[in-house]
């Protein structure tokens, strides 16, 4: 019965994505996180790691465009936005978004960030996932290894008071990892969006207001 419900939920979000013009149902995970944590607040420079097929880039662009109007005040504001998506898979183009086919674990990626943004980032998103083996314990550890590599990018590129969304898999070492990340942010939460499959062990780490 649970599987049937899960399938129905997946179908609901899949169909909604088609109607709304998003490339994948995963867009609704990001909308859910935004509704709960307001991570796009004053976000103009945004990096999306593991961006294929591009649904999170579509959502990021929507909020960045809205922010140009919403935050036209004396506080932190820009008259433009910069969004970059990175993935080892090919991602179809999106207007006004820089999509790079590259491996984020390679050193040369930092040069691409520096050249494109020329500044620290307001928001780093990552829905990146390892290629699952089917063994939950092995996948959990491999995903955490990827998370540690992404955290190096976060440390080097996310600005003071910047926000982070990072996908991990629940398991034995998850708490240890969050304890290591926690000191970097004023607030650190873990959250499973409504559109995540019930049987999935994916969980998102939400880092709000990076410390210096």
> What DSSP assignment string belongs to 145-201?
HHHHHHHHHHHHHEEEEEEEEEEEE-STTHHHHHHHHGGGEEEEEEE--TTS-TT--
CA-to-CA dists, residue 25 to 9, 158, 197, angstroms: 10, 27, 11
- Average pLDDT on 138-167 reads 97
CATH class as words, domain 2-210 = alpha beta
Whether residue 8 is predicted with pLDDT greater than 80 in this model: the reply is: no
In the set 29, 61, 82, 167, the catalytic residue is 167
Whether residue 18 is predicted with pLDDT greater than 70 in this model: the reply is: no
Q: What is the mean pLDDT of the chain?
A: 90
Residue 74: band (very low, low, confident or very high) from pLDDT cuts 50, 70, 90 = confident
- Average pLDDT on 63-79 reads 89
| Residue 153, pLDDT score | 97
| Residue 76, pLDDT score | 83
| Residue 89, pLDDT score | 95
Residue 58: band (very low, low, confident or very high) from pLDDT cuts 50, 70, 90 = very high
Q: Give catalytic status of residue 167 as yes or no.
A: yes
From CA 45, how far away is CA 60, in angstroms rounded? 10
| Residue 26, pLDDT score | 86
Least confident of 21-30, 149-158, 184-193: 21-30
State percent of the chain over pLDDT 90. Answer: 77
| Residue 13, pLDDT score | 63
């Amino acid at each position: 019965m649970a599987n049937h419900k899960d399938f129905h939920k997946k179908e609901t979000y899949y169909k909604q994505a088609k109607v709304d013009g998003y490339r994948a149902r995963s867009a609704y995970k990001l909308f859910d996180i935004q509704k709960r944590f307001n991570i796009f607040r004053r976000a103009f420079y945004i990096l999306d790691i593991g961006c294929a097929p591009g649904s999170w880039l579509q959502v990021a662009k929507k909020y960045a465009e809205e922010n140009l109007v919403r935050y036209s005040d004396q506080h932190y504001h820009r008259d433009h936005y910069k969004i970059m998506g990175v993935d080892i898979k090919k991602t179809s183009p999106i207007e006004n978004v820089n999509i790079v086919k590259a491996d984020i674990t390679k050193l040369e990626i930092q040069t691409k960030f520096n050249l494109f943004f020329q500044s620290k980032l307001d928001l780093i998103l990552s829905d990146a996932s390892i290629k699952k083996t089917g063994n939950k314990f092995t996948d959990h550890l491999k995903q955490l290894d990827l998370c540690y590599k992404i955290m190096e990018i976060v440390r080097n590129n996310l600005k003071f008071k910047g926000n982070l969304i990072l996908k991990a898999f629940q398991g034995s070492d998850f708490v240890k990892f969050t304890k290591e990340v926690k000191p970097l942010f004023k607030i650190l939460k873990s959250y499973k969006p409504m559109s995540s499959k019930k049987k999935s062990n994916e969980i998102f780490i939400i880092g709000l207001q990076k410390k210096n």
